[in-house]
Structure 1
Amino acid sequence: MLEKYEKAGKIAAKVRKQAAKKATAGMKVIDLVNWIESEIKSTGAGLSFPCNVSINQIAAHYTSPPNDDTLLCEGDIVKIDLGAEVDGYISDTAVTVIIEGDNAEPVDEEGNPLKMPGRLDDGNPTVTEDEIEERHAIKDASSSALENVISIIKDGVSLEDIGRVVQETMHSKGYTPIVNLSGHSLEQYNLHAGLSIPNYPEKSSVILKEGDHVAIEPFATNGVGMVNDIPHHYIYSYLRTRPLRQPDAKKLLKTIREDFTYFPFAQRHLMEGYDEHKLNRAMRPLITSRSIYPYAALKEKTDGMVAQTEHTIIVEKDGCKVTTL
């Protein structure tokens, strides 16, 4: 079991490091996402979840839909969140990148504006040097908080103490943790296994124990530290089989049950045999019948910029082992 957690962690860590170098201005998000997922699968591992590439105010749960035109732009603060699974044993890791390079024109070959659902602005933003400097500082607040948490994790550490370290680290740098996002425990075939690892010192008597597997992911922002749902869904999970009337919906649910029983998936993972409109029609009754669960993309409440850093950790008696270094 430990060997498989460690193997999944090494795979994810290697791809994360490569992806952080690969993400440059002018690149389509869908090209980055497809590359990351292909690299993970080329090792024989599976995906713990669709690769998330969440830009600026979007904190989490953005992955490219089919035919995504979203471009990375100079100065973007981009969260790349990915994971691998080996026989159901999971890794989950994230890095924040401040995008560099020359922007591409946000228009197609005919000069029409690109449809870019992964952005909250209209095309290439103008970002000042001061704004870029602050985005680096937000990124540092997130990564420093994770380092400080790792330094205290061992058998018996409380979730309240973990949250306190996150909050104190970020406040010392002038930023705020996002309090309604948290880390989580991991088990075989279970990405969110019960424990929530807070990013502020909520009152809790729960402690971590030797052998626990957890993902720690401090989110830092220059906003108020809360996220709201936005009315777009890009990631889904299988819930249960329900009776359905539509033949296409029945067929699609069978595919989802067979291929994505345990781990979340994206709409683009289901394109074989469908065009985008046909797939949308087939998915609607699956959502309304609660056969599948749609995860809303999450945006910082006051449009603050957001950074995320994440490692998967195995709790030991006198410390911890980070599988995703």
Structure 2
Amino acid sequence: MTMRIAGMASDELEAYLRAGEIVRSLKSSVATRIRAGARLIDLASFVEEETLRMDARPAFPCNISVNAIASHYTPSPTCPRMLEKGDVVKVDLGAIVGGYIADSAFTAEVETAVHQDLIEAANEALSRAVEAVHPGVTTSEIGRTISAVASAHGFRVLKDLYGHNMCRNCLHGGLTIPNYDDGSARKIREGDVLAIEPFLTAGRGEISRNPGGNIFQVIRKDAFYATGAGEKEMLQRLNRDYTGFPFTVRWLGADTAALQGLIRSAAVKEYPMLVEKDGAPVSQAEHTLIVTREGCKIIT
């Protein structure tokens, strides 16, 4: 029987399901490449190139966040970093099909099991949060479920990091899914597309925002904010190629001087790298799901 979602056309649903299928395949493939000695740049490039090969677009640069880095890090073109035994590695990736997005993440430990409890707790928190999703549930109830699982295992959630809803050509649609009870009365509706992503740690769970994450986004599209022909050409290219989605320097080729000018003029923002302040490893688990009349369907 064909699944039906109120307010969602069949071709829209088909695109979401295809994006989810691609993301599932990519997660499985990249997981087999996580080993000591693997270069971060090779892992990220593999994910992004495979996304294109499967007739989709990356929704954002593949995030490969190691140990206390929680999110918003992708390797630069010259990044020498290789995975080491004992690293806690979070891989966060997304695919766009016809403007419709699937977003998912997993955590792996490189050739040890010291942090297995932390990783399993994030997976359990995600599973329990998904079980709690149905039309009418508040976002704070979902967050309360996540934090309760974390606490039961002796961990804390990172309160500064949220899940989010998505819509066509929009990675963050304005609805946030907290990892704790933030008191919000906003309710989930049938047809919502949600990315739920618990982040857990044994540290205090506080975040520092550091430069160097190598992820950027156009926030002012008008050529008024560009100075000189090079910046105007770069801004035009960014608007055309990435349509408001995040991008990274390694996608742009060798000449990126114009990008720095666009950053200075605040036409382009750089995402800060998010790091757990205590230096404690962070685990992440994430699925994209579509809210149905009875509950939800995981597509990743």
Measured after TM superposition, the shift of residue 209 of structure 1 is 0.6
Residue in structure 2 matching 1:242, options 220, 223, 226: 223
Amino acid at match of 1:179: K
The 5 A counterparts of 1:31-180 are: 31-100=42-111, 132-133=113-114, 135-180=115-160
Residue in structure 2 matching 1:316, options 292, 295, 299: 292
Measured after TM superposition, the shift of residue 246 of structure 1 is 3.4
Corresponding residue of 1:13: 24
* Structure 2 residues without counterparts, runs of 5 or longer: 1-11
Q: Distance in 2 between matches of 1:231 and 1:8?
A: 31
User: Residue 290 of structure 1: SS of its match in structure 2?
Assistant: coil
Measured after TM superposition, the shift of residue 249 of structure 1 is 2.1
8 Å CA contact 1:159–1:197 kept in 2: the answer is: yes
Corresponding residue of 1:118: none
Measured after TM superposition, the shift of residue 262 of structure 1 is 2.8
Corresponding residue of 1:103: none
Amino acid at match of 1:241: D
User: Residue 22 of structure 1: SS of its match in structure 2?
Assistant: coil
Q: Distance in 1 between matches of 2:129 and 2:91?
A: 20
Mapped pair 1:282 → 2:258: yes
Residue in structure 2 matching 1:303, options 260, 279, 290: 279
Corresponding residue of 1:116: none
Q: Distance in 1 between matches of 2:49 and 2:34?
A: 15
- If the length of structure 1 is used for normalisation, what is the TM-score? 0.86
Measured after TM superposition, the shift of residue 189 of structure 1 is 0.3
* Structure 1 residues without counterparts, runs of 5 or longer: 101-128
Q: Percent of aligned pairs with the same residue? A: 37
CA RMSD of aligned residues (A): 1.2
8 Å CA contact 2:74–2:213 kept in 1: the answer is: no
8 Å CA contact 1:75–1:98 kept in 2: the answer is: yes
8 Å CA contact 1:242–1:289 kept in 2: the answer is: no
Q: Deviations over 1:55-102 (max 9, x none)?
A: 0000001001111111111110000000000011000000001012xx
Corresponding residue of 1:120: none
- If the length of structure 2 is used for normalisation, what is the TM-score? 0.93
Q: How many residues are matched?
A: 287
Measured after TM superposition, the shift of residue 317 of structure 1 is 1.5
Q: Distance in 1 between matches of 2:30 and 2:76?
A: 19
